[in-house]
Amino acid sequence: MSDALIVEHDGGVVTIVNNDPPRNRMTLEYMDELEALIPELASDPSVRALVFTGAGDEHFSVGMNLKQLPEGVKQKGGIEAVFDQRLSVLAAIESLEKPTIALLYGYCLGGGLELPLACHFRLAAAEGAKIGLPELDLGTVPAWGGTARLTRCVGRDAALDMILRAKKISGDEALRIGLVHEVWPNAELRERGHALARELAAMPPLAVAGVLRCVVGAGERSLEEALAEERRAVMKTMGSADQIEGMKAFMEKRRPNFTGG
């Protein structure tokens, strides 16, 4: 285990820090450790929400460490294997049945946007954020699912505008087109992200998992399939300790205390 990432636990919230300041490149070591970490967190019932950020206050991530690409090709057995690993890791993040939040500040470029696009929530800094998929400046195409996820997030026209012009947009512009959920002053971004994580961690995890299964996969299912998945999610919560507590709290006009049961 290297020091490529730092894992911080705070109750049910886990923060994953890309530890390569100031630019927080997504190194081979970072991706290897993330590949091993995500399944562990997925199976840990004490983990209720995840926050992705970078070390320091300058940049979330400039994306892949291109200087390591020849080494990665050698290690993994080819360029496609390098990309396949990253696609697999991002798919694992996207399919987590626990809420994920990415904090976007400074450079959020290439893989530094593609990872946040796999998260359920994105919060951006009000000042200094440069968010984009500028791969065309390198003569290539986003390789970690960026074209598909950005299009699903902001729509065809906004995605084409960003990618074909290699634009790096601000937090406010990202909010305008629906790429991020909230924008906060830089000094408040981390606390607001963790406040959101604590809010989500307090929700009933069985129901949260059901909502995430329903909503994240909705675009790939027919209406009938989506409704069937919703029914399965509902029925899985019926009779659970949290569902009983939620109903009891509603009747007693108080806030529920969800324990994960």
**CA–CA dist 123, 183 (Å, integer):** 6
Per the structure block, which two tokens stand in for 197?
A: 């994580």
Instruction: Name the residue among 119, 113, 103, 125 with its Cα closest to residue 168.
Output: 113
Q: Is 230 a catalytic residue?
A: no
**CA–CA dist 30, 212 (Å, integer):** 26
Q: Is 114 a catalytic residue?
A: yes
3-state SS, residue 259: coil
Question: Which candidate in 33, 94, 135, 173 is catalytic?
Answer: 135
- Contact predicate 129/106, CB 8 Å: yes
Per the structure block, which two tokens stand in for 59?
A: 């940049």
Question: Which candidate in 33, 94, 114, 173 is catalytic?
Answer: 114
C-beta pairs of 235-240 under 8 Å, 24+ apart in sequence: 236/206, 236/210, 237/204, 237/206, 237/207, 237/210, 240/204, 240/206
- In this structure, what DSSP letter does residue 228 have? H
Partners of 61 in the β-ladder: 108
Q: Give me the count of residues in the chain.
A: 261
**CA–CA dist 93, 89 (Å, integer):** 6
What's the number of CA atoms in the CB half-sphere (13 Å) around residue 191? 5
Residues with catalytic roles: 114, 135
